[in-house]
Amino acid sequence: MPPVSSEWQGGPDGRSDVGRFEMSEMHESLWNQAIAFTRDKSPASFEQWFSGVQFDGMTDGVVSLRARDEFVREWVDRHFLPTLVDFLRSQTGLSVQVAWTVGGELPHPVSSGATAPPVRPRPLRTSIADEPAPVSARRPSSQMRAVKPVEPIQGLNPKYTFGNFVVGPSNQLAHAAAIASAGGGGRRHNPLFLCGGTGLGKTHLVHAVAHRVRDENPGSRIIYVSAERFVNEFVQALQEGRMNDFRARYRERCDLLLVDDIQFLASKTQTQEEFFHAFNALHQADKQIIVTSDKYPQALERMEERLVSRFSWGLVADIQGPELETRVAILRKKAQLERIEMSDDVVVFLAQSIRSNVRELEGTLIRLAAKSSLLGHAIDMDFARQELAMTSTPRASEAGVDDIQRVVCHHFKLRTSDLVSKDRHKSIAFARHVAMYLCKQRLKCSFPELGRAFGNRDHTTVMSAVKKVENLRESDPEVRAHLEALERKLGAAD
């Protein structure tokens, strides 16, 4: 059956009685098809429970149902409605919601109730027996007690722990928030949204949270999944008719949900819808949710607005490129873990040469160590310089902070000294903010480094300037034109 047109949602008030009757007939037909599809999944159970449910019609995409009592409503809502609503959505292409009414007479129940009506289970009662429990039921002795092995969490890197994470100004907030999310003290934010460029430590922190929670509570149900894998699981569940299992896994059998690279849900409307409901179920149950992305929530493209707003409910913690001191500390930590011997001057040289991200920094160190081991040559300054010269892309033609400052000053007819001065005149402040934004976008410098390059300003000042220009670029055509002209000039200079 082809998708129903948007008229299924209802028409204007002036629609004729014939039009309303035809629409009602269409709703009735759709409902009957959905009921037949759902009944085939479990006929006996369906007849039993739907004898206490009545269909009262559909209006504007809302299915109105009446339940005999709250117990019936809860059971049908949990065990049958997901299948039924999925069918309606697949036939109409529209979002479908269910509105329940509980109580009252049911003159036209969905099912005739051929089987016995459902019986509300009575709570179990326990009493202390006079006789001793049989041997098989007694608690096993310490010699006989079997320890149930803890199921490993799929996809986790055992090296990504809090102990191996180097903290600096660029990631301090994200690290503290992750510690709190793992139950390490401090205010817990739910959800926690970690954002930042590639290779800066978002995934490391997420894995560290999982390791800490599992160590503290081995029985905790932890799901770590990339957005791509979530999409694949969802599609597979749809194809194999296992949506109930999929939903139970993410909504009920989960104490901690960790999702990497959420930006890959862009444009995947059905998957976003499913993630939205899983998010709501976990959040309402106060289960911790941590999401990572390479962009701020508001900058996520082709993402539903309701999801974006929920990502901002808790704390958005960004991770910037590490400053020089942090890069040095990261190299020393990695060298210690991998038992790589290096002098301090080589460590500083590597930290000064590689500024992009932590992943590239660590990869360069491992490559040097491997080459050193193969050749039997110590990692000294000459060896490090030679290897970096062979593997690094030449930067002679790449614009630096000074070059960007000069181009911006020429464009706005200012002096370079104006950008690093304390002058807060509107025109100078705007040019300074634009220069900071371009440096951040093109050079991937850390905020503290840019602060020092612009007159020893605080890194929070640079963060605010970059964010302000990002927003103006989206909303102000004049600012966008300035930026495009400057980027063309910088591109020609490169």
pLDDT tens by residue, 139-148: 444 443 444 5
Range with top average pLDDT, 7-21, 159-173, 219-233: 219-233
Residue 267 banded pLDDT, cuts 50, 70, 90: confident
pLDDT tens by residue, 168-198: 888 888 999 999 999 876 678 999 999 988 8
Query: Within this chain, do residues 303 and 331 fall inside the same structural domain, yes or no?
Result: no
* Average pLDDT of the residues in 460-482: 89
Chain centroid to Cα 148, Å, comes to 31
Q: Which of 391, 426, 443 represents a domain boundary (last residue)?
A: 391
Q: pTM, whole model, 2 decimals?
A: 0.53
Per mean pLDDT, which range of 27-36, 170-179, 190-199, 235-244 is the poorest? 27-36
In our burial notation (b when 16+ CB lie closer than 10 A, e otherwise), range 192-222 reads bbbbbeebbbbbbbbbbbbbbbbeeeeebeb
Long-range contacts of residues 68-77, Cβ cutoff 8 Å, at least 24 apart: 68/103, 68/106, 69/102, 69/103, 70/102, 71/118, 71/120, 72/118, 73/100, 73/102, 75/49, 75/118, 76/49, 76/50, 76/52
In this predicted structure, what is the pLDDT of residue 192? 95
Q: Which of 344, 373, 391 represents a domain boundary (last residue)?
A: 391
**Number of folded domains in the chain?**
4
Query: Within this chain, do residues 175 and 313 fall inside the same structural domain, yes or no?
Result: yes
For residue 116, is it within any domain?
no
pLDDT tens by residue, 329-384: 889 888 888 888 888 888 988 888 887 778 888 888 988 989 888 888 888 888 88
Q: Which of 83, 102, 121 represents a domain boundary (last residue)?
A: 102
Q: Is the dihedral of CA 11, 14, 19, 21 positive or negative?
A: positive
For residue 134, is it within any domain?
no
- β-partners of residue 57 are 64
Query: Within this chain, do residues 456 and 486 fall inside the same structural domain, yes or no?
Result: yes
Sheet holding 315-319, edge to edge: 222-226, 256-260, 288-293, 192-196, 315-319
In this predicted structure, what is the pLDDT of residue 114? 47
For residue 142, is it within any domain?
no
Whole-number percent of the chain with pLDDT over 70? 83
Chain centroid to Cα 365, Å, comes to 30
For residue 111, is it within any domain?
no
For residue 153, is it within any domain?
no
In our burial notation (b when 16+ CB lie closer than 10 A, e otherwise), range 248-276 reads ebbbeebbbbbbbbbbbbeebeebbbbbe
Give the C-alpha separation, 6 to 249, whole Å.
Answer: 33
Query: Within this chain, do residues 441 and 333 fall inside the same structural domain, yes or no?
Result: no
Which tokens is 142 given? Answer: 């310490």
For residue 88, is it within any domain?
yes
Q: In one letter, which amino acid is 218?
A: P
Query: Within this chain, do residues 277 and 314 fall inside the same structural domain, yes or no?
Result: yes
- β-partners of residue 58 are 63
Query: Within this chain, do residues 385 and 474 fall inside the same structural domain, yes or no?
Result: no
Provide the CATH number for the domain around residue 255.
3.40.50.300
Which tokens is 22 given? Answer: 């035809």
Beta strand 53-59 with 62-67 is antiparallel
pLDDT tens by residue, 92-122: 766 677 777 877 788 888 887 544 444 443 3
Provide the CATH number for the domain around residue 435.
1.10.1750.10
Query: Within this chain, do residues 208 and 356 fall inside the same structural domain, yes or no?
Result: no
Half-sphere exposure of 124 (CA within 13 A, CB side): 2
Query: Within this chain, do residues 274 and 189 fall inside the same structural domain, yes or no?
Result: yes
Q: How far apart are the first and last CA of the chain?
A: 57
Q: To which residue do tokens 């040097």 refer?
A: 368
Helix (H, G, I), strand (E, B) or coil at 423: coil
Provide the CATH number for the domain around residue 329.
1.10.8.60
In this predicted structure, what is the pLDDT of residue 134? 41
Give the C-alpha separation, 202 to 335, whole Å.
Answer: 21
Query: Within this chain, do residues 48 and 75 fall inside the same structural domain, yes or no?
Result: yes
Q: What is the mean pLDDT of the chain?
A: 80
Query: Within this chain, do residues 209 and 294 fall inside the same structural domain, yes or no?
Result: yes
Cβ contact 361:166 at 8 Å: no
Query: Within this chain, do residues 250 and 374 fall inside the same structural domain, yes or no?
Result: no
Chain centroid to Cα 171, Å, comes to 18
Query: Within this chain, do residues 174 and 48 fall inside the same structural domain, yes or no?
Result: no
Cβ contact 486:438 at 8 Å: yes
Cβ contact 455:417 at 8 Å: no
Which tokens is 16 given? Answer: 């004729």
Residue 8 banded pLDDT, cuts 50, 70, 90: very low
Task: Tell me the residue range of the domain where 335 lies.
Answer: 324-391
DSSP result, 32-61: HHHHHHHHHH-HHHHHHHHTTEEEEEEETT
For residue 484, is it within any domain?
yes
